[in-house]
Each structure stands twice: as C-alpha cells, then as structure tokens.
C-alpha cells in the first residue's frame, strides 16, 4: 500500500444537504471498508476551507504519518469551485490555498476533483513560475453525477493504493461508472504544454503584426 492517505474536503450545496447527498461521506465509508487511511472535513465557506487546509490537514497528516491525497467533493465549473454558502473560489485562489501543501510534499501531490468539469482544475498548473506544481490531477470533462463519481473514485483509490499506475486507475473509473469522461493530467507536463502554447501564440501574434514591405514601384 502506498504511503498516503485520502483527505476528503466536501462542500455540498444546501439542497444536497437537505436531500442527504454527500458523495464524500459515501466515499469515506468505501475507503474504510478497503482499509485505506483517510480524513474527512465538511466545509461551508472560505473560512472553514482555509481552516481545513491549514490546520485540519496538518493534524491529519501527523495522525496518519503519511502524505495527503486531496479529494474535493463539491460543485464547480470551468472557472473554479463553489462552497455551500454560495461563495465561489476561482482556480488561482484554490491554488494559493494548496501552495504550502504542494511545497511540503515537494511536487508529489495528487488532487482529485469530484464534480462537473473537475478536469478544469488543471488550470492550477498553467503558469510560468518556479514553484512546484501538483503531480497529477484527476477529474471529469463532463457533468458527473454523484452516484457515478462515488463509484468511480472508490474504484480509483482501490487500485491506486494497490500501486497500479494512474492510467490504469482512471481506466477502471470509466468501466466502473460507465462514464468515459474521467481523465487525468500530469502537473509538469500540463505546465510545459501550456508554456509552449503561450510561446507559440506570442510568436504567431508577432508574425501577424509584421508589416510586409511594399514593392518598389
């Protein structure tokens, strides 16, 4: 078994709470059954999100004496994540919350986004600074529902903690949930691809603005 624990951060909508939909809670029970170490926090606003990452996560890491895998179970879109009280946290802000964790584990952080278009969290790796980025991010490119997500991530962690490669684990998510929109991105590769794209766009803009000399009369 790998030297890590799954740190679940859940922020359901008020309607989810009213109807008893808590994917993170269900996933935790699955992890317990599989004897996979884990921690769980229910956050409702920026304050509890900050406390969870800055205080509770550190305490859980000491208890387990392992590095965390960050699992976010909440609502979101291509621009960021939504919290229970309606506050919206864009990717650049979530990245700042995670920066001390990424530094502490020296760029080996695995992040799992369990919500619609969670793959957009890869934007956190699209930068040109010298800071370490996440090792990998797992998410869905479409509108994942809670039941499929819970089954998919249970399958993912079951194999990942048995030391299967991440591509095999993500493939198992697709089969288990019948949702083929689950994907993963490697942080450093995503950053390099983004930097290459930006450089190409810059060069294309330069070329487009070059004034061709007029022909001599």
Q: How far is residue 5's CA from residue 12's CA, in Å, rounded to a whole number?
A: 22
pLDDT digits (tens, 9 = 90+) for 130-162: 889 999 999 999 988 888 999 999 999 999 999
Instruction: Return per-residue pLDDT of the chain as tens, 217 residues.
Output: 689 999 999 999 888 888 888 888 899 999 999 999 999 999 999 999 999 999 999 999 999 999 999 999 999 999 999 999 999 999 999 999 999 999 999 989 999 999 999 999 999 999 888 889 999 999 999 988 888 999 999 999 999 999 999 999 999 999 999 999 999 999 999 999 998 888 888 756 645 655 544 444 3
Domain ranges across the chain: 4-209
Which residue, among 66, 49, 90, 78, has the nearest Cα to 6 in the 3D structure? 66
Q: How far is residue 72's CA from residue 10's CA, in Å, rounded to a whole number?
A: 6
Long-range pairs for 91-99: beta carbons < 8 A, 24 or more residues apart: 91/120, 91/121, 91/123, 91/124, 92/123, 92/124, 94/121, 94/124, 95/124, 97/49, 97/50, 97/53, 97/54, 98/53, 98/70, 98/124, 98/134, 99/131
pLDDT digits (tens, 9 = 90+) for 156-189: 999 999 999 999 999 999 999 999 999 999 999 9
Q: Give 4-209's CATH code, choosing from 3.40.50.10470, 3.40.20.10, 3.40.50.1460, 3.90.1170.40.
A: 3.40.50.1460
């Amino acid at each position: 078994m790998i030297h890590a624990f799954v740190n679940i951060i859940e922020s359901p909508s008020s309607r989810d709470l009213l109807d008893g939909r808590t994917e993170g809670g269900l996933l935790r029970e699955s992890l317990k059954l599989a004897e996979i170490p884990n921690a769980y926090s229910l956050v409702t606003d920026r304050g509890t999100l900050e406390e969870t990452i800055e205080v509770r996560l550190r305490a859980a890491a000491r208890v387990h004496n392992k590095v965390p895998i960050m699992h976010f179970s909440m609502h979101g879109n291509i621009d960021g994540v939504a919290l229970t009280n309606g506050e919206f946290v864009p990717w650049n802000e979530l990245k700042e919350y995670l920066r001390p964790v990424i530094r502490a584990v020296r760029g080996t952080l695995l992040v799992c986004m369990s919500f619609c278009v969670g793959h957009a969290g890869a934007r956190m790796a699209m930068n040109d600074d010298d800071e370490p980025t996440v090792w990998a991010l797992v998410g869905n490119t479409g509108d994942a529902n809670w039941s499929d997500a819970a089954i998919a991530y249970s399958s993912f962690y079951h194999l990942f903690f048995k030391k299967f490669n991440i591509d095999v684990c993500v493939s198992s998510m697709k089969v288990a949930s019948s949702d083929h929109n689950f994907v993963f991105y490697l942080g450093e590769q995503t950053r390099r691809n983004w930097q290459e794209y930006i450089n190409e766009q810059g060069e294309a803009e330069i070329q487009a603005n070059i004034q061709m000399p007029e022909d001599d009369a």
